[in-house]
A and B are shown apart, each in its own frame.
Chain A
Amino acid sequence: MPQSTAPARSKETFDVAVIGGGMIGPAVSLGLLERGLKVCILDEGDDVLRVARGNFGLVWFQGKGFNMPRYVDWTRRSATLYPDFARELQEHTGVDIGHANPGGLELLLGDEEEAHRRHFIGQIYQQGGGKEYEVEFLDRKQVEDMLPGVKLGDEVTGASYSPVDGHVNPLFLLRAMHAHFQQAGGSYLPHHRVSAVNRNGAAYDVLTEAGTVSAAKVVIAAGHGLKQLGPPLGLDIPIRPQRGHILVTERTQPILPMPMSAFRQTAEGSIMLGVSAEEAGYDDGIDTQTVATIARRAARTIPALRNLNIVRSWAALRVLTPDKCPVYAQSRSHPGVYAIASHSGVTLAAVNAKVASNWIAGDPAPEEFDAFGLERFDAQKTA
């Protein structure tokens, strides 16, 4: 758990106040500190929705960016930056975030699923205008060769495979980012729930439950909190919660050499099973039917998983935009106020730290960002 390093201080001045201590805020903040800026992270307590504590841990490329080739590029860029990012975190904090990039599979059960997946992946490829897209299809035999020692269920017909895919321990990632942030001189301020951001000359006053903080720039990386904070600041972004369940088995011998979108084996030996998608409002409780559905599919895919006990299960609420693609936007009415929202906080952590942060610091926006603004939602409203 992140610890407080600084007591509540009234009206301290920062170059950038980052609202949100989840996957996105700390990642961006690390890059801002590298630029020599004075940064604080304003966080809430542990009694709020903590999406960043519920992640599966994929660094995932295949299938992302439908209808948005820029998101394909952005995701690839993060995956490429990840090894150095992970090494840097470990060097500074001693925390091994367990990053690995062995490639990833999405196992397909039956001809219908396979046809659907081929069509979907094919469309993403075409939308990229024929640019290289590192996803290929494997038949059952090829999948078996890739997974020695794993007996596939009879229904498995093949898989889509990408060498770009990988995984990470998301809790160690969060801990390492927080630790590095504080080591590098950042101010982590928990129990600073933000109620409003007000203009004050060329800067902003950020009003919190523990006093006011002044900052030249403000980044809203507050997950579902953006829904309340954004609209008065010209950042009315139609995000919604989408619930996902995760199951974790007891530790077992290493058998899965790579993540498989719905399964991954951790470095410690647990197998994590996912992934569901339900519209349940802000209810992050467990639904036993969904848990059963996930377990049943796991057993159909790799029957020996039936032998393992499930030791934990939980649900968390994705921060989902209507097109499932991320938002990186600067307010038009409030220059210097930014919003970042995405359900891929783990996958994008490296690129958020190394690239998105420079945009907040004042560099020109990365070329991908012409697709990540608010304009696309305006178009939907008028359509």
Chain B
Amino acid sequence: MLKRRHSDAAVVHILIDGVAVEARAGESAAAAVLAHDGGATRTTPVSGAPRAPYCMMGVCFECLMEIDGVANRQGCMVRVAEGMSIRRQQGARALEREA
């Protein structure tokens, strides 16, 4: 399990797969999910293999998640914001924006 080393930043309320979670201001969506419960954050479009955030610096594209209804966003490149909704992504994204 991953733990936050510094937790003195302000609390930001977000949803992870519909569950209310307290994240910390300044951290990325990917970090928030890892700190919450870790584990896979998506399955791949072709083989369905589980994947999780890896490089945390915008290079590897393993952390793709649905953020505020937009699929395939790089979770490590998006800062959490009050009320943000993050969803783990299963397989290929839909073409249309999720409602």
Contact = CB atoms under 8 A, between A and B. Distances in A.
A308 B72 CA distance: 9
Contacts of B10: none
Nearest to B72: A250
Contact of A305 (B45, B46, B94, B95): B95
Contact of B96 (A254, A268, A269, A307): A307
A251 interface: yes
B11 interface: no
Interface residues of A, number: 13
A95 to B, nearest CB: 15
Interface string B62-81: 00000000001000000000
Sort chain B's interface into a size bin. 10 to 19
Given A250-B72, A309-B72, A268 B46 contact: yes
Tell me what chain A mostly uses at the interface: helix, strand, loop, or mixed. Answer: loop
Contacts of B95: 252-253, 255, 304-305, 307-308
B13 interface: no
Contacts of A309: 72
A252 B96 CA distance: 10
Which of B45, B91, B97 has the largest number of chain A CB atoms within 10 A?
Answer: B45
A165 B60 CA distance: 36
Nearest to B64: A250
A270 to B, nearest CB: 9
Interface in B40-92: 45-46, 72, 91-92
Q: Which residue, B46, B72, B97, has most C-beta atoms of chain A within 10 A?
A: B72
Given A268-B45, A269-B46, A309-B72, A251 B93 contact: yes
Nearest to A271: B95
A245 B95 CA distance: 23
Interface of B: 45-46, 72, 91-97
Closest 9 CB pairs of A and B: A251-B45, A253-B92, A269-B92, A304-B95, A269-B45, A268-B46, A252-B95, A250-B72, A251-B92
